[in-house]
Amino acid sequence: MEASSSLRFQVSRFSSFKIWLCLFLVLVLQNCSPALSDSPYLVGMGSYDITGPAADVNMMGYANAEQIASGIHFRLKARAFIVAEPNGKRVVFVNLDACMASQLVTIKVLERLKARYGDLYNENNVAISGIHTHAGPGGYLQYVVYIVTSLGFVRQSFDVIVNGIEQCIVEAHNNLHPGKIYVNKGDLLDASVNRSPSAYLNNPAEERGKYKYNVDKEMTLIKFVDDESGPIGSFNWFATHGTSMSRTNSLISGDNKGAAARFMEDWAEQNGIPKQAAHVNHDGLESSHMTSRLPRRVSPIIPEPNEITDDLVQLASSYEASGGRRLSSSSITKRIRSTQQNRPKFVSAFCQSNCGDVSPNVLGTFCIDTGLPCDFNHSTCNGKNELCYGRGPGYPDEFESTHIIGNRQFQKAVDLFSSASEEIQGKIDYRHTYLDFSKLEVNVRTSTGSQQVVKTCPAAMGFAFAAGTTDGPGAFDFKQGDVKGKPFLEISKKLT
């Protein structure tokens, strides 16, 4: 199930760059200005498989104990970029095809990076984020509430994510070359809706009046251009949940954002990006790139040769075609590598931003028993929250919904990528801090209009938490927005 505020208040969206961009990129890459003749940065991209166990492991996101992995829709990746000043500071951003990042994963990744590079990469300049897919293996987080449905810690899930993050950073580090960075942004209107519109209406009218929509519709994209190879990747931030795949899905999937990333990487490869030529146009792409040969599928991973593929190569070379000559493992390996030989691969990440109560199920919420719209205030059907579900644009086919929402993000990203012209300039810097959210002082305005300082306290999950959301309804006899609970729940709370 998904957490929804027990007070039914929804924090308004940010008006510009999303939280990761605000705290990371804006501090890192400051002061946009006209392009200079010399590239001020070294840029590098990397990606690596993090699919993990594809059977008999609970999935992370819906907190549904019955959602056990039984196969793969498409594989998961970690994608990274590094931006560095020659002989100066550098930053790393990693985007995971996973529900979220994990503090324990981050700690272990930093330990590995320290063993490789000393203090070059550390907790201050490495940021790790997840796309919030609800269809990846669980059990890799360190807190009990997140590993209850996975029945504890799952070493296999944890190890593959740690290894994948390390390897994608290593690849990005090894690919550092002089380059430029461009930024672009624009609204995407048909890939997200507010799944708790009644909660949003509890915000003051003055606050709501600042925004055109009740969710953030803006996509922000940064484009990386190698001085020799041309465009080598892009990372974008857009708010929509990774819940196109339902709580009953049992196939590992990157959901709509993972699909969008595959679409864009396929598109780049089909359009010859990055280029092999040393002299390319860095200012954009020809218009044909914007519309020609757009991929229509979610592509599988074709891994670079490693220990596993070496075994497969040996097996393949042991077979002899009738009337032909015996294959050698070297010839097979050469064919595997041929499509990317002597050319950096294009890395595209569709990152998550301020997605709280932002759903990809854009057709609205309906009762599965009657087909009628759900109750507006509590997202119930005749008082039952477990009957109210959001519908994606491909309803009733969740795979088609994943494809459609992913494709809409991909199409917008191609548009922003192709028209990006504002170059980022400035010194690289970063900020990192630890905050105890149970002891913060906050200035609030009272009902009389006066200002008051209040203090936060240790967190607690209210009754409404158990109701989940319309993307993934939770337990029976709970409903969203309930702050009182029922008598037997109060008794149970006091007993525990």
Give the pLDDT of residue 100.
Answer: 97
Q: Which of 87, 274, 48, 76 is closest to 170 using CA atoms?
A: 48
CA distance 120 to 376: 52
Contact 257, 100 (CB under 8 A): no
Tens digits of residue pLDDT in 430-451 = 999 999 999 999 999 888 889 9
| H helices, E strands: number in the chain | 13, 18
Contact 176, 84 (CB under 8 A): yes
Residues 6+ apart with CB under 8 A from 362: 190, 191, 192, 193, 392, 393, 405
CA distance 338 to 304: 11
Give the pLDDT of residue 29.
Answer: 46
- The arithmetic mean of pLDDT across residues 21-27, rounded, is 47
* 279 marked ligand binding residue: no
- The arithmetic mean of pLDDT across residues 256-276, rounded, is 94
Tens digits of residue pLDDT in 331-340 = 434 433 443 4
In the chain, pLDDT over 70 holds for what percent of residues?
A: 76
- The arithmetic mean of pLDDT across residues 349-355, rounded, is 98
Contact 493, 381 (CB under 8 A): no
Average pLDDT, the chain: 84
Q: Which of 402, 52, 53 is closest to 261 using CA atoms?
A: 402
The whole-model pTM stands at 0.81
Residues 6+ apart with CB under 8 A from 69: 53, 54, 55, 56, 57, 58, 59, 137, 250, 251, 252
CA distance 206 to 341: 57
Per-residue confidence band for 9, with pLDDT thresholds at 50, 70 and 90: very low
Tens digits of residue pLDDT in 160-199 = 999 999 999 999 999 999 999 999 999 999 999 999 999 9
Give the pLDDT of residue 153.
Answer: 95
From 359, 419, 438, 450, the catalytic residue: 359
* 432 marked ligand binding residue: no
In the structure encoding, which two tokens stand for residue 273, read together?
A: 């990006």
Catalytic site includes residue 359: yes
- The arithmetic mean of pLDDT across residues 242-255, rounded, is 98
